[in-house]
C-alpha cells in the first residue's frame, strides 16, 4: 500500500532525498482524484497536456515557493498518457514526464540480478536507447544498494540531480528509470547521495562509450549487436593450432604524420593489420583498450570496463578493427584487467558511498604495488559485472580471447604484502578463495557460452593447474604465460657465450615443467620497459653478435614447445626501450641487420605455420624429444618436435660464435634431410654458413641408429626436416 503523500514527504522529494519518488511524482489516483506532480527547477510555469489530443488540460500550480508543480485533473477518473508543457522563461517545451512510465526491469531480470546468475547484466544495466509506450528515450539502471538517492544527470537536464531521481528496486539493489527524449550521444553520469549525506558524481560502470580524458562523463550508446560464433575462429584458437601473437600498444605502435596524438582504430585496421599479416603472425594481442584516465597506465587501470577507449575512435570503429583482423585471418586477443581498478573519484571506488565493488578492509582492498583498488569477488554482483564483461567483448566485438592480467595478485591474499598486512581466508590460508571461484566461474561460463574463445593467464607463480579444466580441479584457463621460461632463457642469452656453459640448465630447465600447463612463451612489453632495456640490448657482444644472438634466440623459441608471443619492436630489433608516449623506431628498418631480424621473424612464423610438428603437440610430452642437451662446452642444443602422424622437425641451436664443423648428432630415420630455416643466412644479416642436403648415415649417435654430420653456424638456430621421397 502506498504511503500518504504528506508535506514532509514532499519536502524530501524537493530536497532530492526520497528513495521512492515514483510514488509521489507523476500521475496518481488519490482520494478519488487524479493528481499530477512534477519537480522542475528553473521552470516558470507548467501545464498538463493530453497526449492523445495534444490539448492542454490543466495548468499546474507551484507548491509554495518550491520547484514542485501540482495539478488536479478535473473530469477524468482513469490514468491516461500525458505530457508536460514547460515554460523555461526563454522557450516553451512540450515533453514526456519520465514519472509516468513503468519500471524498466522485469521480474526475471530482478531475480537473476539478485541471485547473481545474470550472465549478461550489461543487457539491462547501463544506458539503453529503447522505446516505451511508443516514446523513444533511454533506460538507465545502476547497482547502488546503499545510496539514499540516485539520479541521472546530463546535458538533457542541466546536470540537476533533482530532475531525474531514479526508482529503487529493493529486491536487487538497482536504481532504474526510463527518460524520454534522451538520445545516443548524450553525456550523462549518476549523481549519488551517499548514506552519510554526501553527493558524488559517478560514471556508469556499464557505459558502452565514454568521454576522452580528462573528461569523464559516460556517453549514451547502442549496445553493439551480437556477433555469431565462428568455427573457423575456434579452430584457429585451438590448443593444436599454430598460435603466434604480436603484442601491441595501440597508442605507440606508430604515430600519425599530421601531428595528431594517435592513429584511429580504422587507420590501425588499414596499417597495423596488413603489417601483422605480412609477418605471418596468427594473432594480435592488444594491451587494454578499456577506457582509462591515465595514459601512462597503458590501460591496465581501467575506469570504463565496457567502453573501448575514445582515444582511437568509437565502438563501431573498434568493431571494424576486429572485423578487419578476422577478414585477414588474424585473431584478436584483449588484455583484460579484473584484478583491480583505479581510485579515481568518478570510477567504482566507494561507488554508492560504501565499499561496494571493493573490499572494505585496506588489507584486502588496496593493491600495494599500484595503489589501486581490489575487486570484492565474494559479492555476486561484482562477479557478475566481471563475468558479463568477459562475455561482452567476445560476443559484442568478436574478440578471440582474453589475456587476464595480474592473475597472481588475485590468487594470493598476501601478494606483495608484509606479514600482518593481509587477511587470511576462512581456513587461515593465503589463497583468495573468492578470486579463485570467480576465475573458475568466468572460465566455465565463457567456455560454455562461447567455446570458440580462449582465456590466457598472466600468472607468475607455481599455482597448480592454471590451464587445466575446472572439472579437473584447475582454474579453467586455456593457456598460461610461461614467465619462468622467459626469465631463464633471457638470463642465459645475456651471458657472454664464453660463460654460457655454466648456465646451460637455464635453456633446458623449462622442459622439466613444460607439460604441467598449456604454456605461451612470452617476450612481452614487461621485458622492454622500466629500465630493462630492449631485447637487442640484452644480447652480448659486438653489433653483429648481438643481432646473431637475437636471431638464434628467436629460432630456439619458435622451435620450443609452447605458443609464441612477441611485443612490438622486437620484430626488428629496436635499440631503445619501449616508450609508450612515442612511436616505434621504424627508421631502423633501413639498416640491414634490423631488416634481417624482421625477415627472420616473418620466416619463422611461416615455417611454424607450415610445419605441424612445431605446434600440433605443444602440450603433449610425446611431441618432444631431446637429441643433445648436455653439450655444455659447445653450448649446442638439439631436439625433435613431432606431430601425431610421425612427421618431425629437428631444431639445432649453437649459442657460441664458433662454427661447429663436422658436428654429428642422431636422427630418428634414414634418408635425406634439408634445412627449412637457418638464422645465420645472409638475407638475415648472418655469415651465410648453411647445410646443403644431408644424408643420414647408419652411424649410431645420441641413442639413434642414424646420424647426420652438419656445420652448426655461429650464434644460430637451424631447423631440419626429412625430405619427402
Catalytic residues: 405, 458
Q: Which three cell numbers stand for residue 407?
A: 592473475
Query: How many CB atoms are located within 10 Å of the residue 418 CB?
Result: 8
Please give, one letter per residue, the 3-state secondary structure of 452-507.
Answer: CCEEEECCCCCCCCCCCCHHHCCCCCCEEECHHHHHHHHHHHHCCHHHHHHHCHHH
User: String of b and e for 264-302 (b: at least 16 CB within 10 Å)?
Assistant: bbbbbbeebbebbbebbbbbbbbbbbbbbbeeebbbbbb
CA atoms within 13 A of residue 293's CA, in its CB half-sphere: 15
The residues, any chain, with a CB within 8 Å of residue 325's CB and separated by 6 or more, are 269, 273, 276, 284, 331, 332
Euclidean distance between CA atoms 713 and 717, whole angstroms = 8
User: String of b and e for 229-252 (b: at least 16 CB within 10 Å)?
Assistant: eeeebbebbebbbbbbbbbbbbbb
Instruction: Provide the residue count of the chain.
Output: 725
> Do 606 and 282 meet the contact criterion of CB atoms below 8 Å apart?
no
β-pairing, 563-567 with 519-523? Answer: parallel
Q: How far is CA 275 from the centre of its chain?
A: 22
Q: What is the DSSP letter of 211?
A: P
> Do 175 and 166 meet the contact criterion of CB atoms below 8 Å apart?
yes
> Which of 270, 385, 265, 280 is CA-nearest to residue 314?
265
> Which of 381, 376, 352, 378 is CA-nearest to residue 365?
376
Amino acid at each position: 500500500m502506498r504511503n500518504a503523500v504528506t508535506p514532509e514527504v514532499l519536502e524530501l522529494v524537493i530536497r532530492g532525498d526520497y528513495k521512492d519518488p515514483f510514488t509521489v511524482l507523476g500521475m496518481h489516483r488519490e482520494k478519488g482524484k487524479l493528481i499530477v506532480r512534477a519537480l522542475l527547477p528553473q521552470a516558470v510555469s507548467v501545464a498538463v497536456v493530453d497526449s492523445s489530443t495534444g490539448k492542454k488540460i490543466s495548468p499546474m500550480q507551484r507548491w509554495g515557493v518550491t520547484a514542485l508543480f501540482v495539478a488536479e485533473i478535473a473530469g477524468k477518473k482513469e490514468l491516461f498518457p500525458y505530457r508536460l508543457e514547460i515554460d523555461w522563461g526563454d522557450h516553451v517545451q512540450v515533453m514526456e514526464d519520465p514519472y509516468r512510465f513503468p519500471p524498466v526491469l522485469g521480474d526475471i531480470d530482478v531475480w537473476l540480478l539478485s541471485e547473481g546468475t545474470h550472465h549478461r547484466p550489461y543487457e539491462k544495466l547501463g544506458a539503453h536507447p529503447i522505446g516505451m509506450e511508443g516514446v523513444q528515450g533511454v533506460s538507465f539502471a545502476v547497482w547502488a544498494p546503499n545510496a539514499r538517492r540516485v539520479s541521472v544527470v546530463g546535458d538533457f537536464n542541466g546536470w540537476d540531480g533533482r530532475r531525474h531521481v531514479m526508482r529503487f528496486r529493493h529486491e536487487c539493489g538497482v536504481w532504474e528509470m526510463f527518460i524520454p527524449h534522451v538520445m545516443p550521444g548524450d553525456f550523462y553520469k549518476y549523481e549519488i547521495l551517499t548514506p552519510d549525506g554526501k553527493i558524488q558524481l559517478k560514471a556508469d560502470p556499464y557505459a558502452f562509450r565514454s568521454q576522452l580524458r580528462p573528461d569523464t562523463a559516460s556517453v549514451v550508446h547502442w549496445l553493439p549487436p551480437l556477433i555469431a560464433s565462428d568455427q573457423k575462429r575456434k579452430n584457429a584458437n585451438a590448443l593444436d593450432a599454430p598460435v603466434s601473437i604480436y603484442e601491441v600498444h595501440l597508442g605507440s605502435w606508430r604515430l600519425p604524420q599530421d601531428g595528431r596524438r594517435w592513429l584511429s582504430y580504422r587507420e590501425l585496421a588499414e596499417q597495423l593489420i596488413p603489417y601483422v599479416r605480412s609477418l605471418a603472425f596468427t594473432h594480435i594481442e592488444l594491451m587494454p583498450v578499456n577506457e582509462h584516465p591515465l595514459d601512462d597506465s597503458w590501460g591496465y587501470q581501467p575506469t570504463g570496463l565496457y567502453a573501448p577507449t575514445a582515444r582511437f575512435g568509437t565502438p563501431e570503429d573498434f568493431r571494424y578493427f576486429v572485423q578487419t583482423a578476422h577478414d585477414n585471418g588474424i585473431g584478436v586477443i584483449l588484455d583484460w584487467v579484473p584484478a583491480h581498478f583505479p581510485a579515481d573519484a568518478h570510477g567504482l571506488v566507494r561507488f554508492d558511498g560504501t565499499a561496494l565493488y571493493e573490499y572494505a578492509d585496506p588489507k584486502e582492498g588496496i593493491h600495494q604495488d599500484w595503489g589501486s583498488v581490489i575487486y570484492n569477488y565474494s559479492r555476486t554482483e561484482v562477479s557478475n559485472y566481471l563475468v558479463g564483461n568477459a562475455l561482452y567483448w567476445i560476443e559484442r566485438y568478436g574478440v578471440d580471447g582474453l589475456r587476464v592480467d595480474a592473475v597472481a595478485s588475485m590468487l594470493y591474499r598476501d601478494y606483495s604484502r608484509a606479514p600482518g598486512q593481509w587477511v587470511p581466508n576462512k581456513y587461515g590460508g593465503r589463497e583468495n578463495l573468492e578470486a579463485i571461484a570467480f576465475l573458475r566461474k568466468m572460465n566455465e561460463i565463457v567456455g560454455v557460452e562461447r567455446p570458440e574463445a580462449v582465456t590466457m593467464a598472466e600468472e607468475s607463480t607455481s599455482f597448480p593447474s592454471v590451464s587445466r579444466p575446472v572439472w579437473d580441479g584447475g582454474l579453467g584457463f586455456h593457456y598460461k604465460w610461461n614467465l619462468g621460461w622467459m626469465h631463464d632463457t633471457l638470463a642465459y642469452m645475456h651471458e657472454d657465450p664464453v660463460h654460457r656453459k655454466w648456465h646451460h640448465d637455464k635453456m633446458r630447465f623449462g622442459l622439466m615443467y613444460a607439460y604441467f600447463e598449456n604454456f605461451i612463451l612470452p617476450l612481452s612489453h614487461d621485458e622492454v620497459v622500466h629500465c630493462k632495456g630492449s631485447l637487442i640490448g640484452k644480447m652480448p657482444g659486438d653489433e653483429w653478435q648481438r643481432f646473431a644472438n637475437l636471431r638464434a634466440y628467436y629460432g630456439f623459441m619458435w622451435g620450443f614447445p609452447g605458443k609464441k608471443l612477441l611485443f612490438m619492436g622486437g620484430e626488428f630489433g629496436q635499440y631503445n626501450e619501449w616508450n609508450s608516449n612515442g612511436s616505434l623506431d621504424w627508421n631502423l628498418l633501413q639498416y640491414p641487420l634490423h631488416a634481417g631480424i624482421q625477415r627472420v621473424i616473418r620466416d619463422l612464423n611461416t615455417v611454424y605455420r607450415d610445419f605441424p610438428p612445431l605446434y600440433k603437440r605443444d602440450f603433449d610430452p610425446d611431441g618432444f624429444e631431446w637429441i643433445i642437451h648436455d653439450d655444455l662446452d659447445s653450448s649446442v642444443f638439439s631436439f625433435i618436435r613431432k606431430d601425431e602422424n610421425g612427421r618431425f622437425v629437428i631444431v639445432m641451436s649453437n649459442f657460441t660464435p664458433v662454427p661447429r664443423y663436422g658436428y654429428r648428432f642422431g636422427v630418428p630415420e634414414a634418408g635425406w634431410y634439408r634445412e627449412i630455416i637457418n638464422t645465420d643466412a645472409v638475407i638475415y644479416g648472418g655469415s651465410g654458413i648453411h647445410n646443403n642436403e644431408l644424408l643420414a648415415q647408419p652411424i649410431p649417435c645420441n641413442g639413434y641408429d642414424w646420424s647426420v654430420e652438419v656445420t652448426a653456424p655461429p650464434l644460430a638456430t637451424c631447423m631440419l626436416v626429412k625430405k619427402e621421397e
